Amino acid sequence: MSETLNLFPGRVLYGAGALKECRELLKGKRVFMVSDAGLEKCGVLAEAVSALEPDEVYLMNCREPRLSDAQQVLDALAASGADAVVGLGGGSVMDAAKAAAAALDSGKGLSELLGSVSLKRRCLLMLVPTTAGTGSEATCNAIFIDDADGVKKAMISSAMIPDAAVLDPMLTLGLPAAITAFTGVDALCHCAESYISVKANELSRAWSLRGIELIKENLPRAVNAPRDIEARQNMLFASLFGGAALRIAGTTAVHALAYPLGKRGVPHGVANSLLFYEVMRGTLDDPSSLIPGFEALSEMIRALPLPKLSGYAIDAGEVPVLAREAMDQTRLLNNHPAPVDEATAARIYSTLFA
Ligand SMILES: [Fe+2]
């Protein structure tokens, strides 16, 4: 028998202005909001504060959170006496918020909770994505850079699946085109990789497939017409579906090869956008037979306004090291439907510098 628990957020609230109607869910609670300093500048934070009236707001200031950043969130949450946590932001903020909420009653620090852990969360957890990409609002993973060795590590617990996920497209209307594009490609990779993963099942494939369709139809629209509310809403659904599919099937070789690039400063979604076509082409006999619309999706990615690898401080001489580091991502490589060895990884990285 196989079983999957806590598949999905307890509730999903969506629609333009959905956030404004969420105060009711937090009624009678002492609310600790975690957000991103960047959202203060664009007005999204003020909007959320006025909608949810949190008792305390903790602002993070980091693109890729370190374990110590998330520990500070946990310490501030513990000191606040809050019994509800709202994570408002991209994947980094939501990861820190859900890890802190899940760890709150454990009596342990986050460095003691890496890997798969059994935790009981008593506080209410609400996650509000402000980008359509990570799907963190539906996954039980939080990824942090370990301060001790600089390696990205995961905390995995079903206690991190939120009680509520709020998909309000109004919060994403102000996203610049490039961020819309690369976060959207991250969501696409979650859907496509989970679809071909050896761990995929009928539940995950249904989410993956619908996510792929939605992204194909809506990502170019959201990039070209940023205030297209329907396209923004559909991208948020696709991102949620990608996260839910990851919960079962995980990612595969694209994400495995993206990690070494991320370590060198390439944003996660940019790394995935560079690698999607090359990894699938370089490792699968016939990617089009496994991923519906593979060639059209690759074309779509090429047409998006994405940063190029030449904009980052990495050169072709690093290919052997990148390939070696990618081999450390055994958890993801084992999900891939074909073997990926170091020589194959090196060949794929080389194509990025050609
Ligand atoms: Fe990702």
Fold of 177-353: Dehydroquinate synthase-like, alpha domain (1.20.1090)
Q: Is 149 helix (H, G, I), strand (E, B) or coil?
A: coil
At a CB cut-off of 8 Å and minimum separation 6, what does 190 contact? 135, 211, 239, 242, 243, 245, 246, 251
Per the CB < 8 A criterion, the answer to whether 248 and 4 are in contact is yes
d(CA 143, CA 147): 12
Count the helices and strands in the chain (H runs, E runs): 14, 9
282 CA distance to ligand 1 middle (Å): 20
Give the three-class secondary structure for 293: coil
Cα separation, 241 vs 135, whole angstroms: 7
173 alpha carbon – ligand 1 mean position (Å): 21
Q: How far is the CA of 268 from the centre of ligand 1 (A)?
A: 7
Cα–ligand 1 centroid distance for 254 (angstroms):
9
Centroid of ligand 1 to alpha carbon of 255 (angstroms): 7
Alpha-carbon distance of 167 to 88, in angstroms, equals 11
d(CA 252, CA 330): 10
Give me ligand 1 centre to Cα 186, in Å: 5
Predicted confidence at residue 2, as pLDDT, reads 67
Is-above-0.75 flag for pTM?
Answer: yes
- What is the chain's pLDDT, residue by residue, as a tens digit (354 residues)? 666 667 899 999 999 999 999 999 999 999 999 999 989 888 999 999 999 999 999 999 867 899 999 999 999 999 999 999 999 999 999 999 999 999 999 999 999 999 999 999 999 999 999 999 999 999 999 999 999 888 888 999 999 999 999 999 999 999 999 999 999 999 999 999 999 999 999 999 999 999 999 999 999 999 999 999 999 999 999 999 999 999 999 999 999 999 999 989 899 999 999 999 999 999 999 999 999 999 999 999 999 999 999 999 999 999 999 999 999 999 999 999 999 999 999 999 999 998
For residue 30, report the distance from its CA to the centre of ligand 1, in Å: 32
Query: 18 C-alpha to center of ligand 1: Å?
Result: 25
Each domain of the chain, given as residue ranges in start order, spans 11-172, 177-353
> What distance separates the 2 farthest-apart alpha carbons in the chain?
59
* Ligand 1 center to 269 CA (angstroms): 7
Distance from the Cα of residue 308 to its chain's centroid: 21
Cα-to-centroid distance, 147 and ligand 1 (Å): 21
CA 242 to ligand 1 center in whole angstroms: 9
Q: Which residues are in the CB-under-5-Å shell of ion ligand 1?
A: 186
Q: Which of 303, 309, 171, 150 is nearest to 236 (CA)?
A: 171
What distance in Å separates the CA atoms of residue 344 and residue 17, rounded to the nearest whole number? Answer: 47
Give me ligand 1 centre to Cα 314, in Å.
21
CATH of 11-172, one of 3.30.70.100, 3.40.50.620, 3.40.50.300, 3.40.50.1970: 3.40.50.1970
Whole-number Å distance, alpha carbon 316 to ligand 1 midpoint, is 24
Burial class (CB in 10 A: 0-12, 13-18, 19+), 251: buried
pLDDT 10s digits, 50-85:
999 999 999 998 678 999 999 999 999 999 999 999
Residue 189 tokens, joined: 């990779």
Q: Which of 220, 261, 241, 253 is nearest to 64 (CA)?
A: 261
Distance 302 CA to ligand 1 centre (A): 18
How many CB atoms sit inside 10 A of residue 100's CB? Answer: 28
In the block, tokens 């082409």 appear at 281
Q: 192 CA distance to ligand 1 centroid (A)?
A: 11
Distance 188 CA to ligand 1 centre (A): 9
The arrangement of strands across the sheet holding 152-156 comes to 115-116, 152-156, 141-145
**53 Cα to the center of ligand 1, angstroms:** 31
75 by Cβ neighbours in 10 Å (0-12 / 13-18 / 19+) ranks as middle
Would you state the torsion angle of the CA atoms of residues 196, 294, 270, 194, taken in this order, to the nearest 10 degrees? -20
User: How far does the centroid of ligand 1 lie from the alpha carbon of residue 33, in Å?
Assistant: 24
